[in-house]
Chains A and B, each alone.
Chain A
Amino acid sequence: MTDRTQDFRLSEGGLIDRSRRIRFRFNGEWMDGHPGDTVASALLANGIHLVGRSMKYHRPRGILAAGAEDPGALIQRRLTGEPARTDPNGRATQTALVDGLEADSVNVWPSVERDLGAALGLASRAMGAGFYYKIMHGSRWMWDRVYEPLIRRAAGFGTCPPLPDPDRYDQRHVHCDVLVVGGGPAGLAAARTAAVPGARVILADEDERLGGSLLARPRVVEGQPGPAWADAVEADLRARPDVRVLPRTTVFGYYDGNYLMALERVTDHLPLDDAPAGAPRQRLWHIRATRVVLATGAHERPLVFGDNDRPGIMLAGAAQAYRHRWGVVPGRSVVLFTTNDAAYEAALDLHAAGATVHAIIDAREAPGPGWPAAARAAGIRIMTGYVVAGTTGTRHITGASIAKLEADGRAVPHCLETIPCDLLLVSGGLSPVVHLFSQSGGRLRYDDDRLAFVPEQATQAVASAGACAGTFDLAGTLAEGAVAGADAARRAGFDPGPEAAAAPDCEPEPPIRPAAPLWRVRPAPGLDHAWGLPFVDFQNDTTAHDIRQAAREGLESVEHVKRYTLTGFGTDQGKTGNINGLGVLAEALDRPMGQAGTTTFRPPYTPVTFGAMAGRDRGDHLDPARLTAIHDRHVALGAEFEDVGQWKRPWYYPRAGETMAQAVERECRAVREGVGVLDASTLGKIDIQGPDAAEFLNRVYTNAWSKLAVGRVRYGVMCREDGMVFDDGTTARLDDTRYLMTTTTGNAAAVLDHLEEYLQTEWPDLRVRLTSVTEQWSTVGLAGPLAGELLARLASGQDLSPEAFPFMSWRPAIVAGLHARVFRISFTGELQYEINVPWHQGGALWDAILRVGVDLGVTPYGTETMHVLRAEKGFIIVGQETDGCQTPVDLGMDWIVSKTKPDFIGKRSLSRSDTARPDRRHLVGLRSKDPRRVIPEGSQIVETGASRRATPVPMLGFVTSAYWSPTLDSGFALALVSGGRGRIGDTVAVALPSGEVPAVICDPVMVDKEGARRDGLPAA
């Protein structure tokens, strides 16, 4: 293997440290770069342009740009010996070179040099715009077996890491007076003028080094070379205590309320061993700024002509950046194709660095007097009124085919002219980076003089300065930055003084003559395919042909054309291609450029890692887990847990060797035949106090509350205003003006919000206050025929007779030596007591129950058993039997809906024509004709034989709950069935994938319909 020797690196100049070498590997080949290099600059120094393959046609693609806008130079970034640390689709142009870095091409097979997928390019005519939409309308078989597997293999880029991400990511939330986005000349000037009067300033730049365009072009500001000036301003800023300078930080999203998000790459540029201890790999910044100054610069546009995508074709400004910043001349034999004066400087710079510039091809007839005259004086051949129409080469450009522009603007071949070159510079002008401005809600305007979309009207506290506002000369950029910084500070409440907005002076630049629009090279009639594919979006392989075809097929909206042709999708989001695409579309539709606007700019500006978005909220920190005071006892008993909202609830308690079904059967039998114990602490508890509390309950529950005596408990159902059941639970009267309401576990917060809403917004006259006490009380339920005996042992002296302590009442008591409230309610149908003790005493209560009840066989049971037992009794669970579309009447609970109360929330809706329909779905029981079968929950219910008749099959309803019942020795279900209460005894069909299962509709209460067990029966 030949060792590459950085043949294209200049011996001096640039902002790299030649005294140290960095070894890195590209596609398995070792080579060198220097500190300060990106992967792209190091590759170019070693003469490598071919980096990847395009998505659709697998065409060879090189390095087009020098920054975030590059569409094709994507790499899989790896670190030697660190398989978990790999990033797909990194931009070579923005990836810092570090020791041990391994970069591989993406979307290549078997290699970037010889990629078999490139054969797809031969079929490009068949793969035009929207081709996959079209083939999807063909044979389903072909799609499943041929097209989709083929497209999935061919498309897409890098690969995901095979292992969990071992790195740490952080997030910070900060406020500032002025956020300056971009550290080029405008941003530096803005940050400095804003910082002087003392504003809290954050200056963020995606680059590792401040200076922006000053690093890429030789300029003198305030008597210093550009990079030195940038360093001096940075040092001044860093010395100020209220200024934060964030290099390597991309502000990628601009949201409402001047809320911006930024990704800081904290240690990506360091070898693993050099990262400071404890430092995160990346940090996500949430920034709330009083004022924002956008100084995000501009992206140069490529030109659209045949085979304009070959490696070795590069934006003129990018070549200039490689020359000045990295000391790399990316070619020796150069042609420039331009529509503007500014690009001539790049050709002159490469000429001065020793490259041979064969020709400058300018589509205009009359270049300006500045750089073009200098180029002519340097002896460079300039061809005006000509274009590059095509190129030659395979994996690298070998020549540019020249064409002459006729009077009608169409290109005809220029005899004999293919100019050999290994570097073709292109420049179609500059596009302001208006992404963040547009995300902020700002309106754009197309400027015919600048050939660019520029900010017009802001809707947030933001200003744009410099190239991102369409000001491309350095003096104007510096001046705008200074003014914007001073203005931002003033509006944020600081006095910048009269002198602050003075522009930093700079050496003058030559005058620039306006560029000419050239959205594509238009071949003369009949020559449309003479020069190869004219690419608009390099990453998605969208050509001018595709956009013109979309227009021919009737698509006019830019948003539709974007989706049909994929222009502007992908990891680069069309930074280089979008404006050319709009130009091609405008021409095809024969309407003025800019009339149709742009596609929407959406965050993120550049891709953001999932790791940074997740931050520390991973694994156990993803969501808080709420644990009851008894949790450790459940763990010790070997419980399996189920998530109910954020709560961890014991699901069942398997003993050694038990299956879930066996454990649940054992727990069910214990409750029905002995005594079971349940941790019910998670039920929502709301303390309701005030003279009007009873009236308040009257209005929020469907039943009447005025006559509930102190010491009594009542079950209530709560509706929303539309009459649909919202929650249910019991409420106890603690004293004259105080109640304790329970809610379902998952709905506790929503119920409190609901109650507060009515109290505060509709009935502020009611003297009622609400407090959540869910986490103030531990609740342990005892259920079963032996529950009374067990409680008697724990609460000696308490009269537990049904007369003294009737069903639906509560008593204060000393239980196991603890001050408790004991509620006699039942969710199982058995004799049941729910014992509330202060939260932290829950464990002690639990321990006492298990100790004292051991000879009674007291059995802990979980939520699964609770569900079985309540379903046998036909008790609903809100959210299981209901989905927000059931009235109390639908659920068979018309007994709880007061006919006499004048009003309650939802009452009026219960008499609407729709809620009064007889064919509404009713809650019923359902028993399969095969008792061994447990019908799956969610199954659809149809008429017998219906699924063999015409589709769509009318649906009668669905199964809401289904379990195996040890008590019934049978499977059973609850279901919502159209007109179900009138169909008790009917046989219907449950439609399963395996066929219809016959089932009989029955009463939803299947165990102890008389309610004889709730006062406790002697054990069988």
Chain B
Amino acid sequence: MLLIECPWCGPREETEFHYGGQAHVARPADPAALSDEAWGTYVFLRDNPKGEFAERWCHAAGCRRWFNVLRDTVSHRMLAVYRMGEPRPAVSGESGLPEREAGR
């Protein structure tokens, strides 16, 4: 179970949160101006990368605030937590992580 660092409440169990999918997908300002395909892409298509992924979480059973998380989808490590409206932080390589460790 993930331990998620709510920017308002601190670290809490994953079960207190709702997952909100990919972050930084802005709702189009003028949907009527979009083609069916462009609108369909906004509504239905999301990235599914192996590795770093910016995603949204909501502290549903806590402060009810939405926020962003940068997570490694392979190791499930949370690389960064930042508030709505803030830009995606640059996490270069493995910085911000506990160091990679040998198995022994």
The residues of A with any CB-CB pair to B shorter than 8 Å are 255-259, 288, 437, 441-445, 454-465, 469, 480, 491, 721-722, 753, 756-757, 760-762, 764, 902-903, 907-909, 912-913
Known: A256-B1, A902-B32. A908 touches B39 (CB 8 A): yes
| Contact partners of A444 in chain B: CB under 8 A | 103
Known: A457-B102, A464-B104. A903 touches B1 (CB 8 A): no
Q: Say yes or no: is B2 at the interface (Cβ < 8 Å to chain A).
A: yes
| Contact partners of B32 in chain A: CB under 8 A | 902-903, 907-908
Q: Which of A457, A760, A902 contacts B65 (CB 8 A)?
A: A760
A761 to B18, CA, bound (A): 14
**CB distance A455 to B104 under 8 Å?**
yes
**CB distance B56 to A761 under 8 Å?**
yes
| Contact partners of B51 in chain A: CB under 8 A | none
| Contact partners of B18 in chain A: CB under 8 A | 753
Q: With both chains docked as a complex, state the minimum distance between the C-beta of B65 and any C-beta of chain A, in angstroms.
A: 7
**CB distance B20 to A912 under 8 Å?**
no
| Contact partners of B27 in chain A: CB under 8 A | 721, 762
**CB distance A255 to B36 under 8 Å?**
no
| Contact partners of B76 in chain A: CB under 8 A | 256-257, 441
List the B residue with the shortest CB-CB distance to A916. B36
**CB distance B39 to A480 under 8 Å?**
no
Q: List 5 A-B contacts (CB under 8 A).
A: A257-B76, A459-B74, A465-B104, A469-B103, A756-B64
Q: Say yes or no: is B91 at the interface (Cβ < 8 Å to chain A).
A: no
List the B residue with the shortest CB-CB distance to A749. B60
| Contact partners of B60 in chain A: CB under 8 A | 753
**CB distance A722 to B44 under 8 Å?**
yes
Q: Say yes or no: is B98 at the interface (Cβ < 8 Å to chain A).
A: yes
| Contact partners of B9 in chain A: CB under 8 A | none
**CB distance A756 to B66 under 8 Å?**
yes
List the A residue with the shortest CB-CB distance to B85. A764
Contact with A along B25-62 (1 / 0, CB 8 A): 01100111010100110111000000000001010100
**CB distance B101 to A458 under 8 Å?**
yes
Across the A-B interface, the 6 shortest Cβ-Cβ residue pairs: A455-B103, A908-B31, A257-B3, A459-B75, A760-B66, A259-B1
| Contact partners of A757 in chain B: CB under 8 A | 20, 58, 66
Q: Which of A257, A761, A908 contacts B84 (CB 8 A)?
A: A761
Known: A760-B84, A908-B31, A913-B36. A457 touches B43 (CB 8 A): no
**CB distance A456 to B103 under 8 Å?**
yes
The residues of B with any CB-CB pair to A shorter than 8 Å are 1-3, 14, 18, 20, 26-27, 30-32, 34, 36, 39-40, 42-44, 56, 58, 60, 64-66, 74-77, 84-85, 98, 100-104
**CB distance A756 to B58 under 8 Å?**
yes
Q: With both chains docked as a complex, state the minimum distance between the C-beta of A257 and any C-beta of chain B, in angstroms.
A: 4
| Contact partners of B104 in chain A: CB under 8 A | 454-455, 463-465, 469, 480
Q: With both chains docked as a complex, state the minimum distance between the C-beta of A460 and any C-beta of chain B, in angstroms.
A: 8
**CB distance A288 to B103 under 8 Å?**
no
**CB distance A457 to B56 under 8 Å?**
no
| Contact partners of A445 in chain B: CB under 8 A | 103
A722 to B41, CA, bound (A): 11
List the B residue with the shortest CB-CB distance to A255. B1
A469 to B103, CA, bound (A): 8
Q: Which of A259, A457, A902 contacts B103 (CB 8 A)?
A: A457
List the A residue with the shortest CB-CB distance to B103. A455
List the B residue with the shortest CB-CB distance to A912. B36
**CB distance A437 to B43 under 8 Å?**
no
A743 to B29, CA, bound (A): 28
**CB distance A257 to B2 under 8 Å?**
yes
A154 to B4, CA, bound (A): 48
List the B residue with the shortest CB-CB distance to A290. B98
| Contact partners of A288 in chain B: CB under 8 A | 3
| Contact partners of B26 in chain A: CB under 8 A | 762
| Contact partners of B85 in chain A: CB under 8 A | 764
A351 to B82, CA, bound (A): 68
Q: With both chains docked as a complex, state the minimum distance between the C-beta of A901 and any C-beta of chain B, in angstroms.
A: 11
| Contact partners of B30 in chain A: CB under 8 A | 903
| Contact partners of B75 in chain A: CB under 8 A | 441, 459-460
**CB distance A912 to B39 under 8 Å?**
yes
A469 to B101, CA, bound (A): 14
**CB distance B3 to A259 under 8 Å?**
yes
| Contact partners of B100 in chain A: CB under 8 A | 457-458
| Contact partners of A760 in chain B: CB under 8 A | 65-66, 84
**CB distance B20 to A909 under 8 Å?**
no
A443 to B98, CA, bound (A): 17
List the B residue with the shortest CB-CB distance to A721. B43
Q: Which of B3, B31, B40, B56 contacts A903 (CB 8 A)?
A: B31
Q: With both chains docked as a complex, state the minimum distance between the C-beta of A262 and any C-beta of chain B, in angstroms.
A: 14
| Contact partners of A762 in chain B: CB under 8 A | 26-27
Q: With both chains docked as a complex, state the minimum distance between the C-beta of A1002 and any C-beta of chain B, in angstroms.
A: 34
List the B residue with the shortest CB-CB distance to A470. B104
**CB distance A443 to B3 under 8 Å?**
no
Q: With both chains docked as a complex, state the minimum distance between the C-beta of B104 and any C-beta of chain A, in angstroms.
A: 5
A460 to B100, CA, bound (A): 8
Q: Which of B43, B64, B102 contacts A458 (CB 8 A)?
A: B102
Q: With both chains docked as a complex, state the minimum distance between the C-beta of A430 and any C-beta of chain B, in angstroms.
A: 16
**CB distance B103 to A437 under 8 Å?**
yes
Known: A753-B58, A757-B20, A761-B84. A443 touches B103 (CB 8 A): yes
| Contact partners of A908 in chain B: CB under 8 A | 31-32, 34, 39
A443 to B75, CA, bound (A): 11
| Contact partners of B66 in chain A: CB under 8 A | 756-757, 760-761
| Contact partners of A258 in chain B: CB under 8 A | 3
| Contact partners of B74 in chain A: CB under 8 A | 459
List the B residue with the shortest CB-CB distance to A908. B31
Q: Which of B31, B56, B58, B84 contacts A907 (CB 8 A)?
A: B31
| Contact partners of B77 in chain A: CB under 8 A | 459
List the A residue with the shortest CB-CB distance to B65. A760
A257 to B13, CA, bound (A): 10
| Contact partners of A909 in chain B: CB under 8 A | 39, 43
A445 to B104, CA, bound (A): 12
Q: With both chains docked as a complex, state the minimum distance between the C-beta of B85 and any C-beta of chain A, in angstroms.
A: 6
